[in-house]
Amino acid sequence: MRFVGIDPSTKTGLVIIEDNKVHTAVEIVSEEKRAPHRFIDIVNTIMSHITNQDVICIEGFSYSSRGAAVSVQYGIGWILRAELVKARLNYYEVPPSSVKKFATGKGNTKKDELVLPIYKRWGFEHNSDNVRDAFVLAQIARALHGQAELTKFQQEALNKISK
């Protein structure tokens, strides 16, 4: 069984854990400049890594975010979800606050404050915050399938996740 974490954005984090080891940890960026072509390119790259046996967690939309990048994140996010549905693949939607809480115990942690807790808890490090988020999402997928011992705050974080 493989556990997949996806943090969809213009720089999409993708982590796949297999046999309790990180199999893939990449940041996907498209060379395509035009929307929606860029969105489709990113999603096609993600889908090329996914199998029908994977347990998938996607970071949910950040509804409080503002600016031009929000429409890009929504575009990529919805195309990804549509492709997963077309492929008959189930996924878990994980709110951004649950990703942070699962890693640190606090749902309002800043992205740069996730580095040390992720390293201390799992020994994982990466220079991309998108890949770090995807790693936590893959760990959440493991936890949802009974593959991890959980702290109280991690269990609380799982309670906000929907399939």
- Asked whether residue 39 is assigned to any structural domain, the reply reads yes
Could you read off the pLDDT of 37-86 as tens digits, one per residue? 999 999 999 999 999 999 999 999 986 666 666 788 899 999 999 999 99
- Asked whether residue 63 is assigned to any structural domain, the reply reads yes
Residues contacting 38, CB < 8 A, separation 6+:
10, 30, 32
- Asked whether residue 59 is assigned to any structural domain, the reply reads yes
Q: What is the CATH number of the domain that holds 123?
A: 3.30.420.10
- Asked whether residue 55 is assigned to any structural domain, the reply reads yes
Neighbours of 123 (CB within 10 A): 8
- Asked whether residue 37 is assigned to any structural domain, the reply reads yes
pTM attached to this predicted model: 0.96
Domain span at residue 35 reads 2-158
Total domains present in the chain: 1
- Asked whether residue 163 is assigned to any structural domain, the reply reads no
